[in-house]
Each structure stands twice: as C-alpha cells, then as structure tokens.
C-alpha cells in the first residue's frame, strides 16, 4: 500500500514533498530539496517527478532528495521532469558533503538509477548543492582576511538577506560590478565566482594599482529564495531574475539597480558588469564590438589575454550577441551605461579544479586589462556622458 505524506514548511525550508512506501521513504525536507511526487509502478520502479516552479521555464531540471529503507537493498528509481530532458548528471552522498557521480541511463520515461539503500539516508542531487550558508561563511571569512564590511543590499521576496560588499575609496569614480547565482541550479558558475573573487581579492590586496582607481560592487548570491526552495530557474516571485533587468519587477534586481542609481547619481561611472552562470558548455556571452559601448575592444583584449594564460587547458569561447528587451543582465549594462556586460558561463559538467584554474586567471587578466584601459576610453562612444575633467 502506498501512503503519501505532504510536508508543509515555513520559509526557512523549501516546500518539500516526501512519500513513504512499505519499506522505502523518500524526502526533500531540507534546504534546496526538490521532489514533487512519487509512485511505485508495476515494474517495481520508484518513479519520482520533479516539476518546474513556473511555466514557461528554461529546461534546467533540478532534483535533490534523500531515500532510505528499513532493510538494506537495491532499488530502481526513475526521475521524470514534466517532459524536460535531464540537464544535470546525478551525484550521490551519504553526508551531503562528499558527493560522487553515479551510473545512470535515460529513455523515454526519464533518467533511471539503481540505488543501494539502507536505514541511513542516501542523498541524490543534480549537482553538489551550494547552499545559502556557504555564501555567508565565504563572506565572513573573506571579510576577516581583507578587512571589508559585508552589508545588506536588499531583501528577497521571502525576506531573506541579499548580502553584498564593496571595495572602494571615496575619490574613485569608476565602478566594476559582479553578480552571481541568479539561477539556483547553476552551481558550476558559483564555483567559478568563488575562485574568481578569491583571486581578485588576493591580487588587488597585494597590488594597489587597481583599487587606487576602481571601486567594486559584488553581490555573490542574488537569488537566496530560489537556492533555498530548490527552484529550477526562478525566484520566489515567479520570475527569472536574468530576464528582469529592464522592468525590475523583483526586489532582488531592484535592490541592485537602486545601488547602481546611487553610484551614478553621486557622479560615479559604471565601467563594466559581469554575472556568473552555468550552461551546457563553457562560453563568454559578450556585447558585439559594433555596438555603441566603450571601450570597444576591452573585452576582446581581456579574453585574448585569458586564452594566452590558459592555452592547452582551456578554450575561450567568445559569443558576442545582443538581446534587446529581454531584461538580461549584460544587455542592461550595454543599454543603460554604454559599457561592456559579460555573462561568464561554465559548463555544467566541468571539473571544479579546471573551473577554479580558469577563474583565477580570468580575474587576474581582467584586472590587468582594466588597469591598462585609460579612463577616457570608457566615454568614447557614450555621447550622453562627458569624460571627467580631471
């Protein structure tokens, strides 16, 4: 006899679903957990269904659940995603900290796994989860090392804190902006951002040239609700945040926009924006050189330098393009500030060691490229903005 149990939880945990069979129990009652329904079919397979939080939605199916059994045995599990193809390869863990890939197969029913279960929970996830606490711990550690003060730039739909930090000096006018984790399941992009920021902070602390000229705003985790709730793509406000940088309908994007408005209202000049993501393969989505942005060749120069530094290990894939009216972060920087916006995408299945290696070189070469760019270059094609008199 199959018995279903619907678990209702507060904002502090995801609205998780669990189900119990005669000897097997499935649960997603933990942060980032995702499981919508399950059944035992006539072939003895446990069929688990994972639904997108909203429709339409990009096909980025997220799954994260635990399973245990009153007796040790092997069970067959099928994961289904409401008609979407599984994007992430399954990983398993006994402690939610150490994760290993597991063999799988796919067919018209979904993704099939064989799991060895016991009375201790076995966890299965689309990617190794990077939870909100990881960001809090990283911010605290980095703040102690580099003596900056994290601050609350805004609150999410559910009232969760959106933390940020700046590196700034009062006389600096040029600002560089970094944003991460707009899309909850894109954890390889989060791995890249942590490594990028580690190198960025260490390099600028040891060499004062960059911070004697540029200010920096960093918002590492813009979508804490989506992370906590185990969303595929959206915020708790039912919006893809990387499609909201035109209407700013969500408190998460509005918080950043308001801070940027404060910069420009105070006479500051935003010179570049970059956000970190994951997709099927490594790629940098950039603004074409023939767009009215300044300086025209800066990102091409940076990526060429990155390619030189990582030759033999990494192939830089630069894909210029525009997306007017879609509310994409990089397009917002090109349209509003007439400067480069870049989307730094990491392949879903890239090894973390390689991702960190590339990200560290990306940070160092970007710093060097920005240092070598004269201040007046950021105004060449921006006819509405005047270059600073000094």
The CATH number given to whatever domain includes residue 254 is: 3.40.630.10
The CATH number given to whatever domain includes residue 91 is: 2.60.40.3120
Q: How many CB atoms lie within 10 A of CB 86?
A: 18
Residue 374 to residue 266: CA distance in whole angstroms: 21
Whether 221 is in a domain gets the answer yes
| Residue ending a domain, choose from 125, 160, 188 | 125
Residue 48 to residue 26: CA distance in whole angstroms: 9
Looking at residue 163, the DSSP 8-state letter turns out to be E
For the chain, 390 residues long, give each residue's pLDDT as a single digit of tens. Answer: 333 232 222 222 233 478 999 999 999 999 999 999 999 999 999 999 999 999 999 989 999 999 999 999 999 999 999 999 999 999 999 999 999 999 999 988 899 999 999 999 999 999 999 999 999 999 999 999 999 999 999 999 999 999 999 999 999 999 999 999 999 999 999 999 999 999 999 999 999 999 999 999 999 999 999 999 999 999 999 999 999 999 999 999 999 999 999 999 999 999 999 999 999 999 999 999 999 898 889 999 999 999 999 999 999 999 999 999 999 999 999 999 999 999 999 999 999 999 999 999 999 999 999 999 999 999 864 443 443 333
Helix, strand, or coil (residue 383):
coil
Q: Are residues 121 and 137 in the same domain?
A: no
| Residue ending a domain, choose from 93, 125, 157 | 125
Expressed as residue numbers, the domain containing 196 is: 132-379
Whether 241 is in a domain gets the answer yes
pTM of the model: 0.92
How many structural domains comprise the chain? 2
Query: What per-residue string of b and e applies to 217-256 under the rule 16 or more CB within 10 Å gives b?
Result: bbbbbbbbbbbbbbbbbbbbbebbbbbbbbebebbbbebb
Residue 60 to residue 49: CA distance in whole angstroms: 14
Whether 313 is in a domain gets the answer yes
Q: Are residues 118 and 137 in the same domain?
A: no
């Amino acid at each position: 006899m199959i018995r279903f149990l619907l678990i209702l939880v507060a904002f502090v945990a995801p609205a998780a679903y669990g189900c119990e069979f005669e000897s097997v129990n499935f649960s997603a009652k933990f942060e980032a957990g995702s499981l919508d329904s399950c059944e035992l079919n006539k072939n003895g397979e446990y069929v688990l269904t994972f639904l997108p939080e909203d429709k339409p939605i990009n096909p980025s199916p997220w799954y994260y659940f635990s399973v245990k059994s009153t007796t040790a045995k092997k069970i067959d599990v099928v994961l289904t995603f409401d008609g979407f193809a599984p994007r992430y390869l399954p990983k398993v863990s006994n402690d939610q900290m150490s994760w290993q890939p597991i063999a799988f197969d796919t067919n018209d029913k979904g993704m099939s796994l064989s799991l060895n279960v016991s009375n201790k929970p076995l966890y299965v996830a689309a990617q190794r989860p990077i939870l909100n606490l990881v960001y809090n711990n990283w911010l605290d550690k980095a703040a102690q090392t580099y003596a900056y003060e994290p601050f609350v730039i805004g609150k999410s739909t559910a009232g969760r804190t959106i933390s940020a930090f700046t590196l700034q000096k009062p006389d600096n006018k040029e600002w560089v902006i970094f944003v991460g984790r707009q899309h909850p399941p894109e954890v390889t992009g989060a791995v890249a951002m942590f490594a990028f920021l580690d190198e960025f902070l260490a390099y600028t602390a040891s060499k004062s040239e960059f911070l004697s000229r540029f200010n920096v705003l960093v918002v590492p985790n813009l979508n804490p609700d989506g992370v906590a709730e185990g969303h595929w793509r959206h915020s708790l406000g039912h919006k893809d945040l990387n499609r909201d940088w035109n209407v700013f309908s969500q408190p998460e994007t509005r918080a950043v926009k308001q801070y940027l408005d404060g910069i420009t209202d105070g006479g500051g000049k935003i010179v570049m924006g970059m956000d970190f993501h994951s997709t099927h393969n490594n790629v940098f989505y950039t603004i074409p050189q023939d767009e009215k942005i300044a300086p025209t060749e800066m990102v091409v120069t940076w990526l060429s330098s990155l390619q030189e530094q990582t030759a033999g290990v990494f192939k830089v894939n630069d894909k210029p393009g525009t997306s007017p009216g879609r509310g994409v972060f990089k397009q917002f920087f090109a349209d509003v500030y007439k400067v480069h916006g870049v989307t730094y995408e990491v392949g879903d299945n890239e090894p973390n060691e390689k991702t960190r290696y590339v990200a560290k070189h990306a940070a160092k070469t970007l710093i060097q490229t920005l240092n070598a760019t004269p201040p007046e270059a950021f105004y060449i094609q921006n006819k509405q903005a005047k270059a600073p008199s000094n």
